[in-house]
Amino acid sequence: MTSSTATPAPQTRQVPPLGGFNLTALRLEVRRVLRNRRTLIFILIFPTVFFLLFGLPNKNEQLGGQSAIAYIMISMAVYGAMVGTTSGGAAVAVERSMGWSRQLRLTPLRPVAYVLMKLVTAMVLGLIAVAVVFVVGALSGVRMPAHVWLLSGLAAWLCSLVFAAFGLFMGFLLPSENVMQFVGPLLAVLAAFGGIFVPLEVFSHTLQSIAKFTPVYGVGVIARSPLVGGFTATALANVLIWTALFGIGAMRLFRRDTARV
């Protein structure tokens, strides 16, 4: 009598729907970042303080034929969204330091799904930053038509996607102990030379031309355009191109990290 043992067929790892993107993981990720008090202070306190320092003294002034304090409020909302989305994306540096990104290589999670969940989480922080600055602005006497409030707020938030991608890119590029120390001052410099802290009109023609190539330029122009006009295809292209570049770079760096198992 002979017996034979059947060799089990090798099992293939199935890819989950949407590459692993799911609302449960997203909800947990959002709750985790909202428990970080340092992050909340940076996105809630700093932009608000800057608005009060620079906006209130110009409450009765005009800029470009419109209220200067409204112009400054929108600019500070953009800055808050920049800081919030960047810090949300750059949080991946901490996960990298703990080896978490390499552990993900053992799961069927797709890089695009992981990056997308990080981007959505970062955008939540950006939305909070814009909302807080706008609320403080309204309480401080900023008056704008309803459609300007809505369109400027949406533009400041949605266009900050470029900095969510930027944060992810820098988070995968730099070690955790250095990422925010480097990115924080860099954001301030970009904001200064991209027309967020100071209107571009005060710069020389050369600096104005250089500013159009920074990732900040398009966000500021689009967010303020419902108030002062000036929306251009160049500004829109600026946002789209930088978002694509940072997003592609982040996914490539994520694949590089997860390949080291």
Note whether 167 and 86 are within 8 A (CB).
Answer: yes
pLDDT at 222: 97
pLDDT at 174: 82
Q: What's the chain's Rg over C-alpha atoms?
A: 22
Structure-block tokens of residue 194: 């991209």
pLDDT at 93: 79
pLDDT at 12: 53
Q: In 3D, which of 258, 242, 247, 255 has the Cα closest to residue 104?
A: 258
pLDDT at 111: 67
C-alpha span between 79 and 177 (Å, rounded)? 23
pLDDT at 39: 77
pLDDT at 123: 92
pLDDT at 59: 87
C-alpha span between 27 and 8 (Å, rounded)? 38
Q: Which residue carries 């571009």 as its tokens?
A: 200
pLDDT at 81: 95
pLDDT at 50: 92
C-alpha span between 152 and 136 (Å, rounded)? 15
C-alpha span between 141 and 137 (Å, rounded)? 6
Residue 226: what are its φ and ψ, rounded to 5°? -60, -25
pLDDT at 113: 76
pLDDT at 62: 85
pLDDT at 241: 97
pLDDT at 166: 94
* Residue 250 neighbours by CB under 8 Å, 6+ apart: 89, 115, 165, 168, 169, 171, 172
Structure-block tokens of residue 261: 């198992």
One pLDDT digit (tens) per residue for the chain, 261 residues: 455 555 554 455 555 655 566 777 778 778 887 787 777 887 888 899 999 999 988 888 888 778 999 999 999 999 999 999 998 888 787 777 776 666 666 666 676 777 788 888 899 999 999 999 999 999 999 999 999 999 999 999 999 999 999 998 998 888 776 677 788 889 999 999 999 998 888 889 999 999 999 999 999 999 999 999 989 999 999 999 999 999 899 888 877 776 654
- Burial readout 88-100 (b: 16 or more C-beta within 10 A, e: otherwise): bbbbbbebbeeee
pLDDT at 19: 57
pLDDT at 201: 86
